[in-house]
């Protein structure tokens, strides 16, 4: 990390609603905390499989809670995330693998688009409830995020190439090595060691560990 800045890595998958909340919150904190924020696109399916974790919606009571919780969190963080009654089926029925490979290809070739592109995937899936697994939708999302048709097409072709597949696999493995079992996995490198925080509701704790304040007037200032 650059001089005195704490490196904070966000391992995320665009299929995860809590990842979107953590992403937007960290994008705001980046302006008031002394951190270097690094986006690490990874594959949630791989993490679930490797750790034997199950989607929260598999447990009906937990699914019920998650619906309410995400609604409250979205309102609190002012993120246009809309949970439909069938949102959990929607997640289970969608593979984010191609999307995350596409995002990885952009990270490798044109990282300046990584933030707007990731945000656009969440908007499509969680705000507009559109399919993010089909190539033509992926290209439309990329155009919306400001990528040229040429660049989008090239990234889509790259998405199925060995280097991109390897990179996504490696990033996912790295998240697992840090102890991740789901998404988002936020890793702060502080005091010479990595500290893992799971979910979007541990950012105050992360702040206090790295010596940053998350007081409410700060939050108000960031949201306005």
In the prediction, which pLDDT does 214 show? 66
Has residue 95 got a pLDDT over 90? Answer: yes
- Give me the catalytic one of 16, 118, 152, 200: 16
Question: Would you call 16 a catalytic residue per the annotation?
Answer: yes
- Using 50, 70 and 90 to split pLDDT, how confident is the model at 187? very high
Give 118-143 pLDDT, tens digit per residue: 999 999 999 999 999 999 999 999 99
Residues 144-172 as b/e (b if ≥16 CB within 10 A, e otherwise) read: ebebeeebbebbbebbeeeebbebbeebb
C-alpha torsion sign, points 211, 189, 51, 12? positive
Percent residues over pLDDT 90 in the chain: 83
Query: How far is residue 77's CA from residue 62's CA, in Å, rounded to a whole number?
Result: 22
In the chain the domains, ranked by start, together with CATH numbers, are 6-215 (3.40.30.10)
Spatial CA neighbour of 172 closest among 36, 13, 56: 13
Query: How far is residue 46's CA from residue 50's CA, in Å, rounded to a whole number?
Result: 6
Give 62-81 pLDDT, tens digit per residue: 989 999 999 999 999 999 99
Query: How far is residue 82's CA from residue 74's CA, in Å, rounded to a whole number?
Result: 8
């Amino acid at each position: 990390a650059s001089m005195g800045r704490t490196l904070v890595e966000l391992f995320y998958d665009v299929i995860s609603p809590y990842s979107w909340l953590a992403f937007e919150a960290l994008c705001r904190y980046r302006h008031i905390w002394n951190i270097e924020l690094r986006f690490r696109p990874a594959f949630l399916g791989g993490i679930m499989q490797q750790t034997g974790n199950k989607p929260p919606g598999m447990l009906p009571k937990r699914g019920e809670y998650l619906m309410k919780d995400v609604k409250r969190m979205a309102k609190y963080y002012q993120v246009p995330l809309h949970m439909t009654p069938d949102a959990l089926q929607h997640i289970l029925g969608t593979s984010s693998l191609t999307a995350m490979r596409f995002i990885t290809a952009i990270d490798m070739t044109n990282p300046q688009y990584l933030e707007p592109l990731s945000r656009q995937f969440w908007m499509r899936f969680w705000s507009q409830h559109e399919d993010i697994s089909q190539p033509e939708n992926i290209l439309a999302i990329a155009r919306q995020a400001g990528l040229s048709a040429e660049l989008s097409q090239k990234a889509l072709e790259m998405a199925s190439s060995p280097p991109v597949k390897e990179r996504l696999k490696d990033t996912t493995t790295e998240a697992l090595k840090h102890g991740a079992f789901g998404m988002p996995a936020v890793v702060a490198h502080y005091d010479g060691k990595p500290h893992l925080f799971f979910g979007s509701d541990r950012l105050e704790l992360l702040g206090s560990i790295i010596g940053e304040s998350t007081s409410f007037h700060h939050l108000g200032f960031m949201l306005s």
